[in-house]
């Protein structure tokens, strides 16, 4: 009876033997010896990064699935200071690096999501000087003089949620939650500009944020509820 | 029956993490020295890899390891390969490369020289069935559940008989019937007959399916994105080629699945294999939007034909349906079976014949997408009901109600074998909805003109099976008096992992504040649970949690009797205490019972476990043994019939005849999901399911270039899911709220049909606004509406697919 409910499970087409035929580490010269995680590599790296002498190689990019576009990432990274969530953060940034990548991979602010990497979905929305922008389509160097607020900087430092966050909880805004950081940031930015919006104004302001789950109705109710408290 | 928790709103415990950005999805995990993996996808829709030259790539600095098809094990025929030497769709992974960072991996990928020999390809299932048509895979073009991989070609005569625009009806591997279909058609008052096409469309979850892995101390650790935690683990271990005990699997959050991340999948395996090759070094495969399109599955498309016969009262006396499913390149999902099953239950035909053939094409692999088959059935068949209603002069709600299963489903029949169902209240859902929507009054405005706009109304129903049995439940009362509810179901975003956990709390009378849901990874000692797909959680997991909590309850009563005297029957649970029924002074707190359970050992503390539980559950019980009072049980409750989730949708639109644009003025979705567990969660599903359905009905579709077989609807803006501006600011919902007798608290699932009823209702409303125009195609896109309004021919042939 349960068979009716089984998903498409590609694993049924496989046997259980080891998936790679060559299971010993490849001994070629390109592979450096790998040390287990519990060693002090983290502390070593932190020390180097703090001293500012490391040339980090955090170049991360999205490319199409068929042939990668070659981005010129060999251009020199520069150590810059970013004002993120009220703190000054030093980070190495390549000339072609987007803000989303700097945040996620340079500063480990993983709350900013990358859903499309081409300004279609809004999951990467952050505020630059209070204005909601797509961080996936903004070069970090271009906004280095602006004050950046990510989803991690929305709640108070004591953990008190922003009215938008609380309203999204009360109205059960998120479903899968992947678009939620962007929805929160856009709503916060919008209510700063327009604290007493109509539903249509809110809808328009939020329209750059896709939600594949389709939770628009609940998010909108959240925005309107939050507008009573900001 | 009134419950303390069930039927009440609550705040699911993962919400704060979701609104603060601290929720960790698969791509958010980090490990020291994490290498980056990139995958080279096929630029051709079908090709043979003649050679792969890695020498330049491997000589590049920072390149750590490579995997080619020969390095990895291969699936059986029409399986989904990890890496393929016969790529059968654009984007199919051929080579994977790991490097110190993603840029270096991408550079190395560009330096790989792959020689490909193009092979014949096809993107139209009917083309493949032609006498000399191309096969999407070498050696065959047809495969499916219970259908062997084989080559099927229809004869020239089959095609000639159908004519240019008809559906050829050659031999098929799937055929069933009940009743005397031919006689019923002969006696029918009205017969409607149409061919139709349903497009494929991408799942396009917001989170591309990134994955990461490392090996340590003989175990493989994987962070993956999946709808299901416990259920995905053994399959993933099997693909990696290790025992489940050797796999630590973490899947705390899933950024959207809709069936596309139902369980484990090949892309999730790659980091584990690459890491193995690098001596255990952590490796992450970050997946782009385009790669998500290529590898993230899609809803299966259909080309089909349907003929329905009605008596003059509007009863469906005969149904004859023939569908050709577009599988993409793998066995995929059995949408075709579900089309027949859905028709059989939603419309309860007195006689029916169903034929289906699943055909491989060189398009992306198809998987289950929300209501796989059932929702296409709604979109394909509901407009035919409208056509029949018009010919019979019967109201469109009435004709559905006449045929819908209701009154609990006592006379309802399901599927080819016409088996029973556990409960069905579709008739009631239609009645409640019609009343709340004020259908009979409002629908009189159908066809009313206002400038270039015309008012249209639609109603439709949909089905999905909604529950399974035989999985395990596991709860633990810890000595601090907290109830830990272990759930392996997954976190898709419906919050049913939490609402079904509340069943355990309800059984034990626990305050919800004193309950902790243990979930998100195999490190949490998970019971063997079914996955979070197939609208099953609210039924299946209510049962497992009920079973585990009942076991805990029995143990609490036993312990109290042992400690305070008397028999277990002399005690009851009250306010997290075990209290003697006859003497309120004789009591013991749950916390003390948990401490006592540890002292007692044996079954009480999990030192012993039931023999019939799954090895995964047994291992989890062993992991928890001695830490509290363990409630563990397999769900052995009877399940004697199919559990149906049913829904009805009502919609009002204005259609602009000049622009082809429609505006949804009002929508109401009504669910038959048994007892409502979490009203706010149900409201969210009905509304958001409808929104996904509106996209399915009018904008989302695959498009392939017929000449080169390349996909042209990869990005979100091409695909195209609905935005805030495409849907009303508020949507209405309701529920029948009558119990399913085979669910301990009466609940059953609903996630899928709430999409199908909405999409079909919108299709019907668009037709209604156009005076009953039959598009026979999903989605109905703007240019089709403009053509229809202007009386112009459509730019596509009736059965053309994948390239319209």
Q: Binning pLDDT at 50, 70 and 90, where does residue B253 land?
A: very high
In tens, the pLDDT along B412-463 reads: 999 999 999 999 999 999 999 999 999 999 999 999 999 999 999 999 999 9
Closest-CA distance, B235 to chain A, in angstroms, reads: 5
- Flag if A18 and B73 touch (Cβ within 8 Å): yes
Give the closest residue to B180 by CA, choosing from B21, B339, B309, B335: B309
Other CB atoms closer than 10 Å to residue B666's CB: what's the count?
Answer: 16
Give the closest residue to B28 by CA, choosing from A108, A136, A138: A108
Chain A residues close to B269, C-beta within 8 Å: 19
Chain B residues close to A218, C-beta within 8 Å: 683-684, 687-688
Q: What confidence score (pLDDT) does residue A4 get?
A: 64
In tens, the pLDDT along A173-195 reads: 999 999 999 999 999 999 999 99
- Flag if B206 and A20 touch (Cβ within 8 Å): no
Chain B residues close to A60, C-beta within 8 Å: 36, 101-103, 286
Query: Would you give the end-to-end CA distance of chain B in angstroms?
Result: 53
- Flag if A70 and B110 touch (Cβ within 8 Å): yes
Nearest by CB to residue B19, choosing from A26, A36, A161, is: A161
Whether A220 has a pLDDT exceeding 50, the answer reads yes
A184 → chain B, closest CA residue: B19
CB A175 within 8 A of CB A212: no
Bond into B737 cis (ω within 30): no
> What is the interface pTM, i.e. ipTM, of the complex?
0.97
Give the closest residue to B389 by CA, choosing from B442, B314, B456: B314
Closest-CA distance, B644 to chain A, in angstroms, reads: 11
Q: What confidence score (pLDDT) does residue B1 get?
A: 64
Residues composing chain A:
230
Q: Binning pLDDT at 50, 70 and 90, where does residue A43 land?
A: very low
In tens, the pLDDT along B327-377 reads: 999 999 999 999 999 999 999 999 999 999 999 999 999 999 999 999 999
| Backbone φ, ψ for residue B620 (5° rounding) | -70, -40
| Backbone φ, ψ for residue B487 (5° rounding) | -135, 130
Q: What confidence score (pLDDT) does residue B2 get?
A: 84
The count of CB pairs under 8 A between chains A and B is: 372
Whether B788 has a pLDDT exceeding 90, the answer reads yes
Report d(CA B285, CA B271) in Å as an integer: 6
Bond into B483 cis (ω within 30): no
Report d(CA B60, CA B476) in Å as an integer: 53
- What are the residues whose beta carbons fall under 8 Å from the beta carbon of B282, sequence distance 6 or more? A37, B31, B32, B33, B34, B35, B212, B213, B214, B275
- Flag if B724 and A207 touch (Cβ within 8 Å): yes
Tokens standing for residue B501:
């956990």
Q: Binning pLDDT at 50, 70 and 90, where does residue B271 land?
A: very high
A31 → chain B, closest CA residue: B64
Q: What confidence score (pLDDT) does residue A40 get?
A: 42
Whether A60 has a pLDDT exceeding 90, the answer reads no
Closest-CA distance, A89 to chain B, in angstroms, reads: 19
Burial class of residue B585 in the structure, from the number of CB atoms within 10 Å of its CB (0-12 exposed, 13-18 middle, 19+ buried):
exposed
For chain B, which domains are there?
32-119 (3.90.1170.50), 298-405+417-467+641-790 (3.30.365.10), 468-634 (3.30.365.10)
Report d(CA B247, CA B236) in Å as an integer: 8
- Dmax over CA atoms of chain B, in Å, equals 87
- Crossing angle of helices B396-403 and B374-392, in 10° steps, is 120
Residues composing chain B:
804
Whether A21 has a pLDDT exceeding 70, the answer reads no
Other CB atoms closer than 10 Å to residue B317's CB: what's the count?
Answer: 24
Report d(CA B383, CA B270) in Å as an integer: 44
Question: Of 3.40.50.410, 1.10.150.120, 3.40.50.450, 3.40.190.180, which CATH number belongs to A163-227?
Answer: 1.10.150.120
B333 → chain A, closest CA residue: A8
What would the mean pLDDT of B562-577 be, rounded to a whole number? 97
Domain ranges for chain A, please list them.
76-151, 163-227
Tokens standing for residue B113:
């020289």
* Domain pair A76-151 / A163-227, same fold: no
Other CB atoms closer than 10 Å to residue A163's CB: what's the count?
Answer: 20
Q: Indicate the SS3 state at residue B94.
A: strand
Whether A32 has a pLDDT exceeding 60, the answer reads no
In tens, the pLDDT along B151-160 reads: 999 999 999 9
Superfamily, domain A76-151: Beta-grasp domain (3.10.20.30)
Half-sphere exposure of B139 (CA within 13 A, CB side): 7
Chain B residues close to A148, C-beta within 8 Å: none
CB B288 within 8 A of CB B57: no
Chain B residues close to A158, C-beta within 8 Å: none
- Flag if A31 and B265 touch (Cβ within 8 Å): no
CB B468 within 8 A of CB B347: no
Chain A residues close to B90, C-beta within 8 Å: 66
Burial class of residue B217 in the structure, from the number of CB atoms within 10 Å of its CB (0-12 exposed, 13-18 middle, 19+ buried):
exposed
Chain B residues close to A28, C-beta within 8 Å: 58
- Flag if A217 and B731 touch (Cβ within 8 Å): yes
- Flag if A61 and B722 touch (Cβ within 8 Å): no
B714 → chain A, closest CA residue: A64
B490 → chain A, closest CA residue: A176
- What are the residues whose beta carbons fall under 8 Å from the beta carbon of B20, sequence distance 6 or more? A111, A151, A152, A154, A155, A161, A165
Closest-CA distance, A20 to chain B, in angstroms, reads: 4
CB B21 within 8 A of CB B518: no
Give the closest residue to B596 by CA, choosing from B628, B567, B566: B628
Q: Binning pLDDT at 50, 70 and 90, where does residue A2 land?
A: low
């Amino acid at each position: 009876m349960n068979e009716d409910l089984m998903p498409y499970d590609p694993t049924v087409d496989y046997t259980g033997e080891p998936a790679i035929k060559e299971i010993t580490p490849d001994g070629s010269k390109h592979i450096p010896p790998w040390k287990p995680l519990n060693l002090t590599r983290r502390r070593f790296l932190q020390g180097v990064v703090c001293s500012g002498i490391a040339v980090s190689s955090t170049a991360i990019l999205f490319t199409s699935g068929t042939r990668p576009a070659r981005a010129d990432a060999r251009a020199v990274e520069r150590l810059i200071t970013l004002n993120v969530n009220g703190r000054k953060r030093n980070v190495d940034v390549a000339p072609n690096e987007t803000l989303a990548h700097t945040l996620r991979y340079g500063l480990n602010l993983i709350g900013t999501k990358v859903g499309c990497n081409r300004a279609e979905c809004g999951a990467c929305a952050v505020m630059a000087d209070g204005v909601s922008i797509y961080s996936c389509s903004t070069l970090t160097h271009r906004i280095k003089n602006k004050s950046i607020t990510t989803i991690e900087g929305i709640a108070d430092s004591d953990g008190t949620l922003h009215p938008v966050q609380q309203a999204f909880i009360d109205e059960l805004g998120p479903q899968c939650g992947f678009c939620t950081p962007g929805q929160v940031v856009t709503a916060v930015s919008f209510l700063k500009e327009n604290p007493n919006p109509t539903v249509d104004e809110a809808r328009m302001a939020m329209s750059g944020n896709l939600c594949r789950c389709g939770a628009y109705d609940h998010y909108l109710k959240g925005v309107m509820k939050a507008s009573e408290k900001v | 029956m009134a419950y303390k928790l069930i039927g009440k709103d609550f705040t699911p415990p993962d919400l704060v993490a979701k609104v603060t950005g601290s929720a960790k999805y698969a791509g958010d995990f980090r490990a020291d020295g994490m290498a980056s993996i990139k995958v080279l996808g096929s630029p051709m829709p079908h090709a043979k890899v003649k050679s792969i030259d890695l020498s330049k790539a491997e000589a590049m600095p920072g390149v750590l390891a490579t995997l080619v098809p020969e390095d990895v094990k291969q699936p059986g025929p029409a399986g989904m390969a990890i890496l393929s030497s016969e790529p059968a769709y654009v984007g199919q992974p051929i080579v994977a490369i790991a490097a110190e960072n993603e840029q270096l991996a991408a550079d190395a990928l560009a330096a790989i020289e792959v020689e490909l020999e193009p092979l014949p390809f096809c993107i139209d299932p009917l083309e493949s069935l032609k006498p000399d048509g191309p096969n999407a895979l070498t050696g065959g073009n047809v495969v499916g559940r219970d259908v062997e991989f084989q080559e099927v070609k229809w004869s020239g005569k089959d095609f000639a008989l159908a004519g240019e625009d008809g559906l050829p009806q050659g031999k098929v591997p799937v055929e069933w019937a009940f009743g005397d279909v031919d006689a019923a058609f002969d006696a029918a008052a009205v017969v409607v007959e149409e061919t139709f096409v349903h497009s494929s469309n991408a799942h396009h979850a917001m989170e591309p399916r990134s994955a990461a892995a490392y090996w340590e101390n003989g175990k493989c650790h994987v962070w993956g994105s999946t709808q299901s935690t416990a259920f995905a683990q053994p399959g993933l271990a099997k693909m990696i080629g290790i025992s489940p005990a050797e796999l630590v699997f973490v899947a705390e959050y899933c950024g959207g699945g809709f069936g596309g991340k139902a369980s484990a999948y090949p892309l999730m395996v790659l980091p584990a294999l690459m890491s193995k090759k690098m001596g255990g070094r952590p490796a992450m495969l970050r997946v782009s939007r385009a790669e998500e399109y290529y590898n993230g599955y899609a809803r299966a498309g259909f080309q089909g034909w349907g003929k329905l016969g009605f008596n003059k009262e509007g009863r469906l006396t005969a149904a004859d349906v023939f569908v050709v499913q577009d599988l993409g390149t793998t066995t995929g999902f059995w949408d075709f079976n579900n089309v027949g099953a859905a028709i059989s239950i939603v419309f309860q035909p007195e006689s029916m014949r169903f034929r289906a053939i699943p055909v491989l094409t060189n398009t992306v692999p198809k998987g289950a997408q929300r209501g796989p088959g059932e929702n296409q059935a709604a979109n394909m068949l509901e407009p035919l009901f409208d056509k029949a209603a018009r010919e019979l002069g019967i109201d469109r709600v009435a004709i559905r109600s006449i045929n819908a299963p209701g009154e609990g489903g006592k006379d309802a029949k399901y599927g080819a074998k016409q088996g029973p169902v556990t409960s069905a209240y579709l008739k009631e859902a239609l009645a409640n909805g019609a009343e709340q929507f004020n259908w009979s009054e409002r629908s009189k405005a159908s066809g009313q003109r206002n400038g270039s706009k015309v008012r249209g109304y639609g109603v439709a129903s949909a089905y999905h099976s909604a529950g399974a049995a035989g999985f395990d439940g596991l709860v633990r009362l810890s000595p601090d008096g907290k109830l830990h509810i272990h759930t392996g179901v997954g976190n898709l975003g419906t919050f049913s992992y939490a609402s079904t956990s509340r069943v355990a709390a309800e059984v034990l009378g626990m305050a919800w504040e004193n309950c902790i849901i243990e979930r998100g990874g195999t490190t949490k000692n998970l019971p063997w649970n079914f996955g979070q797909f197939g609208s099953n959680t609210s039924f299946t997991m209510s049962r497992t949690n009920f079973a585990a909590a009942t076991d805990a309850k029995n143990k609490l009563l036993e312990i109290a009797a042992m400690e305070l005297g008397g028999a277990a029957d002399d005690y009851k649970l009250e306010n997290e205490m075990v209290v003697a029924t006859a003497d309120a002074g004789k009591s013991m707190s749950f916390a003390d019972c948990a401490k006592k359970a540890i002292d007692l050992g044996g079954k009480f503390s999990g030192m012993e476990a039931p023999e019939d539980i799954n090895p995964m559950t047994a291992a989890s019980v062993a992991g928890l043994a001695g830490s509290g009072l363990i409630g563990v049980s397999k769900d052995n409750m009877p399940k004697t019939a199919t559990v149906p989730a049913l829904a009805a949708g009502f919609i009002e639109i204005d259609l602009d005849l000049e622009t082809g644009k429609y505006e949804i003025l009002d929508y109401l979705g009504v669910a038959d999901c048994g007892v409502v567990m979490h009203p706010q969660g149900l409201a969210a599903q009905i509304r958001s399911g409808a929104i996904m359905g509106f996209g399915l009905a009018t904008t989302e579709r695959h498009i392939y270039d017929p000449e080169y077989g390349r996909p042209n609807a990869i990005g979100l803006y091409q695909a195209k899911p609905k935005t805030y501006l495409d849907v009303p600011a508020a949507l209405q919902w309701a529920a029948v709220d009558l119990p399913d007798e085979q669910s301990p608290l009466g609940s059953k699932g609903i996630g899928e049909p709430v999409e199908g009823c909405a999409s079909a209702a919108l299709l019907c409303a668009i037709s209604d606004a156009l005076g009953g125009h039959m598009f026979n195609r999903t989605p109905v896109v703007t240019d089709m509406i403009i053509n229809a309004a202007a009386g112009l021919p459509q730019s596509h042939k009736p059965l053309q697919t994948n390239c319209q």
